[in-house]
Each structure stands twice: as structure tokens, then as C-alpha cells.
């Protein structure tokens, strides 16, 4: 069985206990305005163009079968939608400066397990394991469930970072195969959630309820986005939902701009241009607000 991933990161320490291997699966149903991994949204492989490494040789223009490359006044541009219709990507092979590459590749389940299993000595010494992230891992449910089963059979601690958008039967099937769930909660207000993520919040909240009642190890992950998710109303809503589900652990993830270059490189638009980063101390104020409610 094959799945599609964007990357495998070794020796991670922030996505579950111990030293971990992160597997980023491709595809996500949400379109969060602040997403720092936009290359993982589409379920298929995508052309990536890094303009500052381009030498302007125009070899890609010569081999492009769908005329997705144009040059006007010395400036090269690409119509990425056309690029996605081209499966063999001859432009990548023609580029001498590595300005073009493919984001996302298929991998057999057995090969992924072999890669993960190489880090078993680190897991044993640190209490670590493998974390499946994305994108949204549940967008590839059959592949995810299969690799979870194989990891559990190999004695590897498993974690899933999820936005909660999946079907209840698939979630219930994953529960006994997963040691830890890192569950993203973003906005509770239905209108604002739809506006900033593109999907309704109801299914997410229902799945959180299912998960909290059926699994002992769930940590909420909460992105702090200035003026969007950090309002007093939303903070109180997050607290209310956590208490309703008897959850006590939360990871705060402050807004950053480290992934914004990926939007241009993949022909995507970033809608939060100009949003200011947090002033020193603001995140600690929010952290103290949660701690006052015995949420840590």
C-alpha cells in the first residue's frame, strides 16, 4: 500500500515524548489562513519553483509540453495549475540550477516502516516514537491505519497530530492503534471557523468528544494568531470545550512567518501579509490565563 508524504524529519523533540520521527502526510481538508505548511494541503505532488536560484536559462520553457512557463521582459513566470496537469515534469530534469523540484512523493508502507524503524534505538533511550502529521494524516485513512498497525506491531510509540476532520468510524479505528493524539483546536465560533479555515467546526468538536471519551492521552494544540484566535471570546471557548471534555493539557503555538515563502514557491497566495508577530510577554499572558484554569 502506498501513501503520499512531503517529508520525514528525524530527531524531533516537540511533537510528543522523547526523540521522534515526524512523517508529514500530504493532503488537508482545511485551508487555515495562517498555515505554515501550505505545500501539504493538496493531496497530490506539486511543482515547486524557487525563483532566487533560477538562472533564467529558459530550458524549462523549451521542454514544457503544456506551455505553463512564460518569459516576459526577462521575467519568468509559471502557471502552476497547468503544471499540476503534467505528470512527468520534464522541466525539473532540464533545470541546471535546482530551481524546480517536486513537493510530495509516494512511498510504500513497508518502506516507510523501515525508515521509521531505523530510529528505534533513539526511541528506546528517550521514550520517543513516530508522529504522523501533515497536512492532515486522516486524509489518507487506509494508509494511516496500516502504518499505525505496523508500527504498533514493531513496538513503536505512535502519535497523530490532527485537525480533527475525519469520519467517526475511522477515528474509532485509529484510537487503539495510537498512543498519543495531538488535537488542533483553532476557533470555536462556527462563523469564524468557517471563514478562517474553510470548514465547519461541528465535525471537529464531535470528533474531539469521541476521542476524549475513548482515549487517555490527548493534548490540545492551539495556534495563537493575533486578532484571530487569541480574542478573549475564543480563549474562553477553548477553555470551555477542554473542560467539557475533561482535558487538561494544552500546547500554545504562537504565530510565525517561517512558512510564508512556500506560498510563492508553490503558486499560492498568503492572505495574512503584514500581520504582526507577538510582542514579548503577550504569549506568557495567554499562558497564564490558561494556567489559572488549571490547563497546562
Q: Is residue 54 part of a domain?
A: yes
CA distance 267 to 200: 26
Report phi then psi at 3, rounded to 5.
-130, 170
- pLDDT, one tens digit per residue, over 216-273 is 899 999 999 999 999 999 999 999 999 999 999 999 999 999 889 999 999 899 999 9
Task: Give the confidence band of 69 by pLDDT, cuts at 50, 70, 90.
Answer: confident
Q: Is residue 239 part of a domain?
A: yes
CATH number at residue 62: 3.30.70.20
- 113 and 222 co-located in one domain: yes
Distance in angstroms between the alpha carbons of the first and the last residue of the chain: 39
- pLDDT, one tens digit per residue, over 207-230 is 999 999 999 899 999 999 999 999
- 69 and 147 co-located in one domain: no
* Total number of domains in the chain: 2
Can you list the alpha helix ranges (DSSP code H) found in 2-98? 59-63, 80-83, 90-94
- 30 and 168 co-located in one domain: yes
23 sits in which H/E element: strand 20-25
Cell numbers 526523540 correspond to what residue? 19
What does the H/E/C string look like for 269-283? Answer: CCCCCCCCCCCCCHH
Q: Is residue 67 part of a domain?
A: yes
What percent of the chain lies above the pLDDT cut of 70?
98
- 266 and 121 co-located in one domain: yes
- 205 and 273 co-located in one domain: yes
Report phi then psi at 250, rounded to 5.
-140, 135
Task: Give the confidence band of 173 by pLDDT, cuts at 50, 70, 90.
Answer: very high
Residue of 119, 115, 101 lying closest to 147 (CA atoms): 115
Cell numbers 516502516 correspond to what residue? 113
- pLDDT, one tens digit per residue, over 14-32 is 999 999 999 999 999 999 9
Q: Is residue 178 part of a domain?
A: yes
Q: Is residue 296 part of a domain?
A: no
- 73 and 204 co-located in one domain: no
- pLDDT, one tens digit per residue, over 174-212 is 999 999 999 999 999 999 999 999 999 999 999 999 999
pLDDT reported for residue 80: 80
- 88 and 20 co-located in one domain: no
- 33 and 136 co-located in one domain: yes
Whether 75 has a pLDDT exceeding 80, the answer reads no
Cell numbers 490547563 correspond to what residue? 295
CA distance 152 to 174: 11
CATH number at residue 260: 3.20.20.70
Report phi then psi at 288, rounded to 5.
-65, -35
CA distance 270 to 43: 19
Choose one of 76, 103, 130: the last residue of a domain.
103
Whether 65 has a pLDDT exceeding 90, the answer reads no
- Please check whether residue 212 is in contact with residue 198, taking contact to mean a CB–CB distance below 8 angstroms: no
Report phi then psi at 251, rounded to 5.
-105, 125
Whether 73 has a pLDDT exceeding 80, the answer reads no
- 23 and 39 co-located in one domain: yes
Q: Is residue 92 part of a domain?
A: yes
Choose one of 103, 128, 152: the last residue of a domain.
103
pTM listed for this prediction: 0.93
- 140 and 255 co-located in one domain: yes
Task: Give the domain extent around 61.
Answer: 46-103
CA distance 267 to 46: 10
Residue of 101, 98, 109, 116 lying closest to 55 (CA atoms): 98
- 12 and 119 co-located in one domain: yes
Neighbours of 209 (CB within 10 A): 14
Q: Is residue 71 part of a domain?
A: yes
| DSSP symbol at 155 | T
Choose one of 103, 121, 151: the last residue of a domain.
103
- 85 and 128 co-located in one domain: no
Whether 74 has a pLDDT exceeding 70, the answer reads no
pLDDT reported for residue 85: 67
Calculate mean pLDDT across residues 158-187: 98
Amino acid at each position: 500500500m502506498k501513501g503520499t508524504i512531503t517529508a520525514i524529519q528525524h530527531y524531533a523533540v516537540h511533537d510528543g515524548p522523547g526523540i521522534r520521527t515526524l512523517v508529514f502526510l500530504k493532503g488537508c481538508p482545511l485551508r487555515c489562513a495562517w498555515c505554515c505548511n501550505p505545500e501539504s494541503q493538496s493531496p497530490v505532488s506539486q511543482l515547486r519553483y524557487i525563483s532566487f536560484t533560477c538562472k533564467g536559462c529558459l530550458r524549462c520553457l523549451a521542454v514544457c509540453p503544456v506551455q505553463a512557463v512564460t518569459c516576459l521582459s526577462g521575467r519568468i513566470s509559471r502557471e502552476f495549475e497547468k503544471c499540476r496537469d503534467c505528470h512527468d515534469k520534464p522541466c525539473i530534469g532540464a533545470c541546471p540550477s535546482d530551481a524546480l523540484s517536486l513537493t510530495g512523493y509516494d512511498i510504500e508502507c513497508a518502506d516507510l516502516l523501515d525508515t521509521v524503524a531505523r530510529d528505534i534505538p533513539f526511541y528506546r533511550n528517550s521514550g520517543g516514537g513516530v508522529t504522523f502529521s501533515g497536512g492532515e494524516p486522516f486524509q489518507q485513512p487506509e494508509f494511516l491505519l496500516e502504518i499505525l498497525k505496523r508500527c504498533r506491531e514493531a513496538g513503536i510509540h505512535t502519535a497523530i497530530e490532527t485537525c480533527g476532520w475525519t469520519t467517526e468510524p475511522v477515528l474509532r479505528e485509529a484510537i487503539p492503534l495510537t498512543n498519543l493524539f495531538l488535537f488542533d483546536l483553532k476557533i470555536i465560533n462556527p462563523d469564524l471557523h468557517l471563514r478562517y479555515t474553510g470548514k465547519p467546526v461541528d465535525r471537529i468538536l464531535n470528533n474531539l468528544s469521541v476521542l476524549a471519551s475513548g482515549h487517555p492521552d490527548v493534548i490540545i494544540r492551539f495556534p495563537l494568531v493575533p486578532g484571530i484566535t487569541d480574542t478573549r471570546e475564543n480563549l474562553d471557548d477553548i477553555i470551555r470545550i477542554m473542560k467539557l471534555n475533561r482535558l487538561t493539557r494544552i500546547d500554545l503555538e504562537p504565530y510565525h512567518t517561517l512558512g510564508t515563502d512556500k506560498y510563492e514557491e508553490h503558486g499560492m497566495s498568503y492572505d495574512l501579509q503584514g500581520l504582526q508577530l507577538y510582542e514579548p510577554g503577550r504569549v506568557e499572558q495567554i499562558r497564564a490565563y490558561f494556567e489559572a484554569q488549571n490547563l497546562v
